[in-house]
Amino acid sequence: MKKVIVIGGGAAGMQAALRLRARGVEPLVVERETETGGKLRGWHVLFPSFTPAGELLSELRRRVRESGIEVLTGATVTAIAPRRVTLSDGRCLACDAVVLATGFTLFDARIKEEYGYGIYDNVVTSADLERMFAQGRVAKADGTAPRRIAFLHCVGSRDEKVCQQHCSRVCCITGVKQAMELRRMFPAADVFNFYMDMRMFGPGYEELYREAQQRCNIHFVRGRISEASPTIDGRLQIKAEDTLTGRPLRMSVDMLVLLVGMRANDDNAALAASAGLARSASGFMAPRDLFLGRVSAPVEGIFYAGTVTAPKTLGETLDEATAAADAAAEYLKA
């Protein structure tokens, strides 16, 4: 039986492995962490349906387990080639093809110093907030309930100052989803979303945005927050332009949520160099063709699944993992 190494045991990696197995190929999932799941771990519910992330994760894990797919955890890949994968401990694993499903790196909000993440209490990222939701407790650092919350879209996205020219795509809808969850949790709280554009591209997204506006009274202000600073009572003062009225706007809030974007995986540069692969300007892996070769690397025998090539939603990632596995299976048949 032909063997394919799938690098990365997140949603893309697991789905690709399942499809390979269904196509009669032997997959080996190599995962850096001690368990599978990738970024799906620690996420609470998924947009736009509020489906618990745990449901999707345990279903994927159950399928992987029941299919008898071999998973190598705690293994970091340092170099790839179509028929060989090298690990950080020096081991070389032989194979017939490789599916790269290493995902993205979360933008480090500390780089946008003006928002004071890591310096001021109650400045959190969307990932932090999701963890709080998962733990069932959202509160200010002093344990009290926030009365006014601001979300800032596009932190580490569409920002040339931090070398992130691209749109991370999922943050807009995540901001809408999380704002709605906070309104449900704190009915008396005011929630403001500061955005540059609302990019509601997916099925059900625009409907959710409308619900957030009309039913949840979430205030959407078109303008990017320029800075956050502390107030004497331990809150945060934020400044923005309300661009639709053409006037500067400021207010104090109890909590500032930074919707952090997807950055190209930190490992992309080294892996691309090891196999002679091209990367796009933003650092994501560049597929062979933007229309007819979206899941293939320019090098024969290497395939891409999920956010290793660009920011994607979970649905898109799962579809692409299937496509990548199919492409690999076809390649091995030839």
Partner 1 sequence: MARRASWNEYQKQIADDRYYYGRSCIRQNFFPGSEKAFIDILHNDLGRDLLDDPKHSSCTGIGYHSDIVPLETIMTVVARQFSLMNEAGYENFVTSCITSFGVYTEVLATWAEFPETEERTREYLMKATGREFRKPASMAHTSDVMFHFREAIAAKARYRLVNAQTGEPLKVVEHIGCHYAKIFPKSGIGGSEFPYVLAGMVESWGGECVDYPERRHCCGFGFRNYLVQANRGYSIANSHKKLESMAPYKPDFIVANCPGCAMFLDKWQYTIAEMEGTTYGDNGRGIPVLTYEEMAGLVLGYDPWALGMQMHQVDVEPLLDKMGIEYDPAAKYLGANGKYIGKPGAALVNNCAADSVYNIKE
Partner 2 sequence: MAIEFGYTISKPRAIDIDRNNLRKSDEILREMPELQTCIGCGSCTAVCTAGNLTSFNFRRVHTLVRRGEYRGAYEEMNKCMLCGKCRLVCPRGINTRGVVLLLKRKLGDF
281 near partner 2 (CB under 8 A): no
139 binds, options partner 1, partner 2, none, Cβ within 5 to 8 A by partner type: none
Binders of partner 2 among 117-176, rule CB under 8 A?
Answer: none
Closer residue to partner 2 (CB): 63 or 147: 147
201 near partner 2 (CB under 8 A): no
- Report in angstroms how near the CB of residue 227 gets to partner 2 at its nearest: 13
Closer residue to partner 1 (CB): 144 or 231: 231
Q: Quick check: helix, strand or coil at residue 189?
A: coil
- Report in angstroms how near the CB of residue 61 gets to partner 2 at its nearest: 40
- Report in angstroms how near the CB of residue 224 gets to partner 1 at its nearest: 16
Q: Are 313 and 170 in contact (CB under 8 A)?
A: yes
Closer residue to partner 1 (CB): 118 or 315: 118
Closer residue to partner 2 (CB): 88 or 231: 231
Closer residue to partner 1 (CB): 89 or 233: 233
Contact footprint for partner 1 (CB under 8 A)? 110, 113-114, 118-120, 227, 229-232, 237
Expressed in angstroms, the distance from the first to the final Cα of the chain is: 14
Q: At what angle do helices 314-333 and 11-22 cross, to 10 degrees?
A: 40
Structure tokens at 267: 């490992």
184 near partner 2 (CB under 8 A): no
Amino acid found at 24? G
The burial of 131, by beta-carbon neighbours within 10 Å (0-12 exposed, 13-18 middle, 19 or more buried), is given as middle
94 binds, options partner 2, partner 1, none, Cβ within 5 to 8 A by partner type: none
- Partners of 52 in the β-ladder: 45
Interface stretch with partner 2, choices 83-91, 239-247, 289-297, 312-320 (CB under 8 A): 239-247
Per DSSP bridges, beta strands 302-304 and 97-100 are parallel
As a 3-state breakdown, the chain gives helix, strand, coil percent values, each rounded to 5, of 30, 30, 40
Structure tokens at 102: 């290493």
Among 51, 210, 276, 330, contact with partner 2 (rule: CB under 8 A): 210
Phi-psi region of 276 (alpha: psi -120 to 50; beta: other; left: phi over 0): left
How many other C-beta atoms lie within 10 A of the C-beta of residue 283? 19
Among 136, 143, 187, 246, contact with partner 2 (rule: CB under 8 A): 246
120 binds, options partner 1, partner 2, none, Cβ within 5 to 8 A by partner type: partner 1
- Partners of 45 in the β-ladder: 52
Residues forming the site for partner 2 (CB under 8 A): 198, 210, 213-215, 217, 219, 222, 239, 242, 244-252
